[in-house]
Amino acid sequence: MAWTALSGLAPVYPLYALLFLDTGLSQAQVSALFALWSVTALLAEVPTGVLADRWSRRGALVLAGVLEAAGFVLWTVAPGLPGFAAGFVVWGVGGALASGAAEALVYDGLAAVGAEDAYVRVHGATTAAELLVQVPTALLAGVLVEVGGYALVGWVSVAVCLVAAALATRFPEPPHTAGDDEPEVPLRRAVGTALRRPGVLLVVVAVALLGGLDAIEEYFPVMAREQGVPTELVPAAVLVVALAGAAGAALAGRAARLPSRALPLLLLLSAVLLAAGAAVDHPAAVAAVAVSYGLYLAVLVVGETRLQEQVPAAVRATVTSVAGLGIEAAALLVFAAWALGGAAAVAVLFLAVVPVTARGLVPRAVSSH
């Protein structure tokens, strides 16, 4: 989806963890900011999913871009703990608006033309595109921070988000059809659907825990610098990890065809490589982290696809947001683990999710669209 690729061009992405540290915040304060971001998104996830289902998934994406831009404005005009916190609250609501709406919009668009089986490839390609845009973003970030410091990075990021919001106004949105359960679905019924529909509960839990692990991405710049990468080369090191992640996401279609027991094994290998990367204080350790991230994203994309395959269309954004709520809760575990033991502690969380993946990512038993 062009919107996700464009919004990912905001040059603040590879630098904001360093922005916080260079402004004078401690590692614990940075983790606290990330936790605030997740708590905000956690509280907003399901209500914004209901809004997208009842109002407009396209409209939710437009509003998401505007709110993200507003968050970066706050970071730029008021750098410091209060400004960063306020920006994360605004961005957290915007991210919640996009999380359920984007996947629902794509899946229903494919289902409308009978191509829902292509979702795993499309979703994988979209996830890969989100990471591949980090190539120009890393280059742009390095130039901008050298020319105009973090302030210039912030204002360019604001502009990028507003352009993405404008682009989202042009997306087609399939209307609800008579075959859908109801256009107006109460929150209680949507949550009940997620709990009672065969196979959905297990995959919701698996996707929630898997998705929460992606919070490790916030620490890739910090990990790179701790591994001896000079600050000016940190965006390039993060880019290496992003490219590996893009490759993993792009190969998710093949991963989906593997026996179900292979998926937890891929996640297990990812955990081992992450731990190895955390244990070595050398720039070469970036390679282990990169491969770890690629394996992880392949598993995550398959899991998110299995969820979409089993959710009724009328409540697709809402139920996806229920999983998103779990993702934000699980992300808090990542932030806490990092604060206590860094990347090694996060690797332990990866290991803990392996058995849940083994149970939850089963082949679809029910298809609804």
pLDDT tens for residues 149-183? 999 999 999 999 999 999 888 887 776 554 444 44
pTM, two decimals, is 0.73
User: What domains sit in the chain, N to C, each tagged with a CATH number?
Assistant: 2-175+187-360 (1.20.1250.20)
Mean pLDDT, range 351-364, rounded to an integer: 81
Mean pLDDT, range 317-343, rounded to an integer: 85
CA gap 305, 110 in Å, rounded = 13
How high is the pLDDT of residue 369? 42
How high is the pLDDT of residue 327? 86
How high is the pLDDT of residue 195? 61
Tell me the pLDDT band of 189, cut-offs 50, 70 and 90.
low
